[in-house]
Structure 1
Amino acid sequence: MRKNPFKHWTEIQYLKEEIKNPLIEVGDYSYYSGYYAGGKFEDICVRYIWGDEESQKMYNPVNDYGWVVDKIKIGKYCCLASGIVFMMGGNQNHNTNWITVYPFKKKLIESYKSKGDTIVGNDVWIGSEAMVMPGIKIGDGAIVASRSVVTRDVEPYTIVGGNPAKFIKKRFTEAQIEMLLEMRWWDWKEEDINNAIDILSSTDIGELYKYYKENIK
C-alpha cells in the first residue's frame, strides 16, 4: 500500500520543491493539496507522461524515436486540489485516423502524435478530481469546478464546470480582466506582493490598479 505523504487534509505541498519529472514545470508558490488522493502530485495527478524513473530506464522517446514529448507547464500561485488529473502522453499511441486504435507493437512509433503542451496559467484554481485533457491551455485567474472534464481551452478569469466543462461565468468585467492581465501581480517582487496582500484579498481591482500604477509600473 502506498504511504500517504500528506499527514492531514490541510497540508499542502509546494510543487516547485517536489517536482522531479523533467517534463513538468511549476512556478513559485503553486501548491497541491493531495491528502484525499493519498499520493504525490507526480504519481497521482500526471498520467501517461514519460520521465518517471522506470520509464527512463526502459527507453527515451525523444532520442530513440524522435517524438515531440508533451510537457505540462503550471504558472505561479496556482491552487490544485486533491485528485486532479492531467492526461498527458499525446494520443497515447491510439491513432483515431486508423481503422484500429489498437497500438500494435510494430506500429508504436508511427502511431504516436503529440497533442501539444498542457499549460496552466497563474493564479488558477482547479477543484478536486477535475480532469484536464492533453494540450489544453487554462488562462490566468481561471477556476475549474470539481470533477469537471476540461476538453477545450479556458479563457483567463473564467469559471468552467461539468463534463465536458462548459462556460459558467466570467469572474470580473472585461475591463477589470484587462487590468488584471496588464498588472500580472504574480510577477511582482515578493515585497510588493506582500505590501498589496490586503488589496489582493479584496474585491477592489481599481485600488490594486492604483497601487500598480504608483508602485510597480
Structure 2
Amino acid sequence: MLLAVVMVLVSLPLAFIVGLASQKGSICAVAAVQELLDRRRPRQGVAILACSAWVLAVTVPLAWLLPRSTLAVSLPVDLPLLAGAFVFGMGAAVNRGCAFSTVTRLGGGDLSYLAAAAGLAGGLGLLALWRGLAREVPAPDRTSVLAEPHPWSLLLVAALLVAGTALLVRLVPRPGLAQRPGAGRAGTPFAATAVIRVAGGTLYALHGPLECTPP
C-alpha cells in the first residue's frame, strides 16, 4: 500500500511536467520529418535523438533498481498491424502530428482535435469486438542485455548521458546570438523536449510504455 502511494506521489508531478512541457516542446516524429522536408532543418529530429539518449540513461538505471519494471513488447508484422499503421499514418498526415501531439493540442484547448478522442474510443471499441486483433502477445524468450548492470552497461549509460548532453548543448543558442530578433527563445522548445523525454522516461520505467506512442 505504501509503495502504491509513493508511486502515485511520484507519477502525478511527472505527468504534470510532461503535459506542461508538451505545450513548448515536441517528441513528434511526424513534426520532425515535416520540419526536415519543409525547412531543410534537422533540429527537431536531433533534439528527439538527444533526448532519446537521455531516456535510455534514465530508464536503464531505474530498471536495475526496480526488478518488476515493465519492458515494451513487440508485435509480429502482419496484415492487421500494417493496416493499423496505414490508418495511423493517414491520421497523422491529416493532423500534422502523431497521437501524442494531437492529445497535447487538445489538452492545450484546441477543440478542433476533439474528434481524435472519439476516434480513439471507436478504435478501442473495434478492438474489443474483433477478437482476432486482441490476441495475446507471446512473452519474449530472452531478456534484454541491459536487464542487469554490468561494467560495459554502466559505461554505455554514461556514454549516452554524455552524448545526450552534448547534442542538447549544440541546440542551445549561444549568448551572443540571443540579441537577434526571435533568437532569445530559440532554445526553449528543445529544452522542453528534453524535459518531456526525461520525465516520460521515468514514467516509462515506473509504469511501462504509453499505449498511444512510444516514449
Q: TM-score, normalised by structure 2?
A: 0.24
Write 1 or 2 for the structure with the bigger share of helix: 2
Greater relative contact order (CA < 8 Å, ≥ 6 in sequence): 2
Write 1 or 2 for the structure with the bigger share of strand: 1
